[in-house]
Structure 1
Amino acid sequence: MSITLRQLEIFIAVAETAQVTKASKKLFVTQSAVSMALAELENQLGGSLFDRHGRSLLLNARGRYLLPLAKDITCQVSNIETIMSERNDTLEGHIDIVASTTLGNYILPYLVGAFRRVHPRVYINLLVFNTGYAEKLILDGKMDIGFVEGPLSKNKELRVHPWFQDELVILVGANDPLAHNDVFDVKRDIKDRKWILREKGSGTDAIFREKMKEYFQDISVVMEMGHPEAIKRAVEAGAGIACLSALCICREVENGWIKSLQVEGIDMKRQLQIISRADKEISDAHAEFLDFCDVMSTCNDESVCLSSPWKLQSMLARHSSQKKQDSV
């Protein structure tokens, strides 16, 4: 017998409540049904998933491994149901989007892809440049919406809407001595390091220089690179350390290729923003896409949401379901 979706849902409920009784109430099924499904799942997987402590069921090592996988699978199914139920959508239009490098390469493709599945008649053109040039394209009227991470001018013709917060982190190679640390202590760790920076003009570089201005004289820059992927490869190779958005290094950190360190003593968060011309009328397609992008504000840990397209898709599905419930 194959593992069923219902078995996974019951497993998740038991893991979250730690009791068969509470799980049965949460799922509106009998206790015997929960116990039977759990026993069948453990039998199919060849071993127990919980340690029994009195009336409580606590995840063991096998259960802790299965839990995130089970959640991903159930969310993917929910996402499919949501998308397929909306395939008769009639929204049409054309949206020209420009995004700065981190957002354009690591966030917008997932969002655009998910949006197009829900609204297949909306054509989206996405260009990627640094923040300065993205702002120029918006002000020149060549693009409709911009998603940027760096400082902006105070041009009154620019409409600026806060999106969600990102955090810059320090990247070190897996074999770097700093990889044994949990945080990056600026006063202790910044000196005698080879630094690889983003090119001047990028939002990441501008924010990094602003945050580190008190210590920048101690930074020895050996390379500047125009793309986060090149910087990550250089850090992996041991060429130096770098500072990038936590949004763009999820997979490398998960696989152990590089180590991510939060900076101690300096707030490295930055506000990501959505921009458009103040005098430009927003079409129905534009408004719907902006509303769709608001889902990022609901995620408490953006790096978790963005570490894989499936995780973002799952979050979008939950957001869509919640919106439907709120509108009832």
Structure 2
Amino acid sequence: MNLRQISIFTRVAEIGSMSETARQLFMTQPAVSQTIAELEDDLQMKLFDRINRKLILTNSGEVLYNYCKKILSLLEEAEHTMRDLATLKIGKLRLGASTTIGIYFLPRMVGDFKKRYGRITTQFTIDNTGVIEDMILNHAIDIGLVEGKVHSPDIKVHYLFDDELYLICSKNHRWVKENKLNIAPEDLVKEQLISREKGSGTREMVEEILEEQGLSLEVTHILNNTEAIKKAVEEDMGISFVSKMALVDELKSEKLVKIKIEGIHITRSISIIYHKDKYRSPLLDAFLEHINSYKTD
């Protein structure tokens, strides 16, 4: 098994078509087919099933595909490292962030980093914590910034700073009209809760804290976008828990109102995560140093 076979096999596995793979790699279809046939012959096992004119990986193919992704990721990492050895001003960072951090923290922080290292390129993925964790495990990104718990032992987690979740409601909510800006935990039970989707670090943290208080709130609306949640709360569709990072403008303009809960103060750790086997190149180390210094700005 050689690198050419690995590369072609991986593309066929991801595309599901030999003809389209050939087109994208500027090869002939017979050449792609022959490569896959030689690989199957060498390994003495079938790697693809043809179902409805589409190539589907067999169990053996899935195992090989996972190894090939790691091999190609290591190759790409080696190429980046060689560039980093020449100059820290050239390189590529693949960054992932959970939604709140990706929208309200990461762009500003990366922008300042690129003022120092202007020729580097950055690739962003913004999704919930669960997705970012999976991307780290699959070597799809170099580093992640998340607010939720990370569950895999293969991921290194480094604390960055604390973030607070505010309970917010509309300025037209009855709590505001009654000047009831400090409520008891049981006052939450009758409210309609607008929540993030499953896999969200924010949702996991809120559910955990409320469960400790013996509270179980009915989720009436599920939205996977913080801006959408804020708009829904502003229209008095319900209450929600949102990061203070995302509420600066709305609280200042009084479009939304922060409500305190007696005995409940929800904070979560913002963390940097990366795979335990990840090679820390000079560029990655410089970026990590920048993040750690930036958090106090």
TM-score by length of 2: 0.66
Instruction: Please list the CA deviations of residues 162-187 of structure 1 after superposition, one character each: whole Å capped at 9, or x if unmatched.
Output: 11001111010012132334434313
Q: CA RMSD in A?
A: 1.8
Secondary structure of the 1:292 match is helix
In structure 2, the residue matched to 1:140 is 138
Distance (whole Å) between structure 1 residues aligned to residue 171 and residue 115 of structure 2? 38
Q: 1:244 aligns with which of 237, 242, 245?
A: 242
Unaligned runs of 5+ residues in structure 1 are 1-88, 299-314, 316-328
CA distance in 2, matches of 1:194, 1:177: 13
Distance 1:242 1:268 in 2: 13
**Alignment partner for residue 269 of structure 1, among 261, 267, 270?**
267
Contact 2:98 2:146 in 1 (8 A): yes
Residues 98, 127 of structure 2: 8 Å contact kept: yes
Query: Secondary structure of the equivalent of 2:169?
Result: strand
Q: How far is the alpha carbon of 1:99 from its aligned partner?
A: 0.6
Equivalent residues in 2 for 1:266-305, closer than 5 Å: 266-298=264-296
Query: Does the CA-based 8 Å contact 1:170-1:184 persist in structure 2?
Result: no
1:101–1:153 CA distance, 2 compared to 1 (3 A): same
Show CA shifts across 1:83-140 (max 9, x none): xxxxxx9622110001111111111011111211222111111111111110111111
- Asked if the contact 1:160/1:274 (under 8 Å) is kept, the reply is yes
Question: TM-score, normalization: structure 1?
Answer: 0.60
Query: Any idea what the Cα deviations from partners look like across 1:255-305, whole Å, max 9, x if unmatched?
Result: 11101224331231111111111111111221111111113542xxxxxxx
Number of residue equivalences = 209
- Which of 242, 254, 259 aligns to 1:256? It is 254
1:1-328 superposed matches below 5 A: 91-155=89-153, 157-179=154-176, 180-187=179-186, 189-215=187-213, 217-298=215-296, 315=297
- Percent pairwise identity: 32
Contact 2:88 2:283 in 1 (8 A): no
- CA 1:121–1:233 in 2, change beyond 3 Å: closer, same or farther? same
Instruction: State the distance in 1 between where 2:197 and 2:261 align.
Output: 21
* CA contact 2:189–2:215 (8 Å) conserved in 1: no
**For the structure 1 residues 279 and 260, does the alpha-carbon distance in structure 2 shift closer, same or farther, using more than 3 Å as the test?**
same
Check 1:90–1:130 CA distance in 2 against 1; reply closer, same or farther (3 A cut).
closer
For 1:171, give the aligned amino acid: I
Q: Which SS does the other structure have where 1:152 is aligned? A: coil
Query: Tell me, what secondary structure is at the counterpart of 1:260?
Result: strand
Separation in 2, partners of 1:197, 1:127: 22
The residue type paired with residue 92 of structure 1 is: I
The verdict on how the C-alpha distance between 1:184 and 1:227 changes in structure 2, with shifts beyond 3 A counting, is: farther
Structure 2, unmatched stretches of 5+, are 1-86
Change over 3 Å in CA distance of 1:294–1:262 after alignment to 2:
farther
Secondary structure, aligned partner of 1:98 = strand
* Residue 11 (structure 1) aligns with: none
Q: Could you say what secondary structure the match of 2:122 adopts?
A: strand
Is the Cα–Cα contact under 8 Å of residues 122 and 285 in structure 1 kept in the other structure? no
Cα separation, partners in 2 of 1:97 and 1:288, compared to 1, 3 Å = same
